[in-house]
Amino acid sequence: MSQQTAPSTARHGGAIWALVITSVAGFMASLDNLVVTTALPAIRKDLGGALDDLEWTVSAYTLTFAVLLMFGAALGDRFGRRRLFLAGLTVFTGASAAAAMAPGIDSLIAARAVQGAGAAVMMPLTLTLLTAAVPAAKRGMVYGIWGAVNGLAVASGPLIGGSLTEHVSWHWIFWLNVPVGLALLPLARLRLAESHGTGAPLDIPGTLLASGGLFGIVYGLVRGPADGWTDSVVLTGLLAGGALLVAFVVHSSRARNAMLPMRLFRSRAFAGINAASLLMFLGMFGSIFLLSQYMQGVLGYSPTEAGLRMLPWTGMPMLVAPVAGMLSDRIGGRPVVAAGLFLQAVGLGYLASVVTADVSYAAQLPGLIVSGIGMALYFAPAANLVMSSVRSSEQGIASGANNALREVGGALGIAIMSSIFSAQGGYESAQSFVDGLRPALVTGAATVALGGLAALLIPARRTPGRIVTSAEPAPALEASAR
């Protein structure tokens, strides 16, 4: 079934089911990025392991997730998006159960790697399947809800992980996915329509180059703060990964059926939103990673208390994003995304100016609220901008590429901001932590502001409500060519 069947599917309630299924699946995949961070002490107490082992319980998921995203999207385009979504969801659910039952730290790391692989197949297809089920005129609001749910998952990972660890057991961080996954499998089979991409054969050389390049880059970024940026393995990963990605770009510029055609980046819309997404996740991931530790280690809040106090930031997308999605349908996504990124930058800059070893929550609140509104304004129309910047037959790989860049941005953000934090401060005292946190937050604010500038490169919408079919060029591609 092609994506042109979307309107009839939506009339029979398919759009609502698609939104529920893809949002819940995306929430689980995004949540598991940071959900383990606040549970590491409890995991170490039960399973043992050195500090490096504990870091790998986070890194193993990030690594396989980021590396395989574009490959998962390509598989879905070739063999059926619903079919591969079900396969990815099955792997993710089974690996979650294996992680919950892990008898030792090594088996937990292995389960996390498999879990990330399942999420990498599942996650990019959530957006493609949702697009296939929703009429073009209503996609802004629906993307807003989908984006809000995924943004909430990323931001609330430390809260959910900390709360389950504190009040139940760290095992339930993983058990939580199992009943949800088992419920989604029959729903997805019955309620989601099958769709395909172009039907072109898989780009095996491109897949190997992209996967190898992303592996080297993400491995180096993940291990750099712990092992040192001059470590031979870290340097090898970064240099080899960079070389492979350059080779991937050259290959994709010439190949007939490239996994990620480089001509897509000639579109200002596609290039602009992907640059904005990379910079947004770089600034946001690094900030949340450090601020969650600041609230617990410096201000003395429990994991649950810290998560609740961050709700004005992390929970705001659920309130604002659907409205922002409808707004983007009326005026276009560019001004909404740009405004969101600039507000996020203002919020982070404000927090950098007020953090001290004993700052009151009231003093932090304006920065948290402004950051939350900014996050919501970004997440709502970003997905719509990605999907409308390409032909419908290329939406799977566009989603995979955007998700891969966001994951690389998140890993890069944690690595860069952790390095700045370590260079300027540390964990020795509350004041030392603040000394490192402040310049890291300033860096995060500047990075997100650059993302806002990148969003301004996206062409203004010229023909509101126009529906793109696989038989015609995307409007954004036409506009950028003029």
Q: Tell me: the pLDDT tens digits for 199-226?
A: 667 788 988 898 888 888 878 877 777 7
> How is residue 202 annotated by DSSP?
P
Question: Which is nearest to 118 in space by CA: 161, 39, 77, 178?
Answer: 178
Write the pLDDT tens digit of every residue in 8-18.
Answer: 443 445 888 98
**C-alpha pair distances (Å), 49 with each of 76, 174, 408:** 37, 19, 27
- Quickly state the pLDDT bin for 472 (edges 50, 70, 90): very low
Q: Give the number of other Cβ atoms within 10 Å of residue 245's Cβ.
A: 17
CA-CA distance, 318 to 309, in Å (whole number)? Answer: 16
Q: Is residue 385 packed enough to be buried (19+ CB in 10 Å), middle (13-18) or exposed (0-12)?
A: buried
User: DSSP character for 267?
Assistant: S
Would you tell me how many other CB atoms lie within 10 Å of the CB of residue 233? Answer: 11
Compute the half-sphere exposure of residue 252: CA atoms within 13 Å on the CB side of its CA.
Answer: 21
In whole angstroms, what is the distance from residue 477 CA to residue 390 CA?
A: 7
Look at the chain and count its residues: 482
Q: What local confidence, expressed as pLDDT, does residue 199 receive?
A: 65
**Using CA atoms, how far apart are residues 384 and 25, in angstroms rounded to an integer?**
18
pTM of the model: 0.76
CB 173 within 8 A of CB 164: yes
For the cut 90, the answer to whether the pLDDT of residue 455 exceeds it is yes
Per residue in 53-84, pLDDT tens? 776 787 788 878 877 887 888 888 888 889 99
DSSP 461-476: PSSTTPPP-TTS--HH
Q: What pLDDT digit, counting tens, does each position of 274-289 carry?
A: 999 999 989 988 888 7
Give the DSSP per-residue string, 371-408: HHHHHHHHHHHHHHHHHHTS-GGGHHHHHHHHHHHHHH
Q: Which helix (H) or strand (E) element contains residue 123?
A: helix 105-133
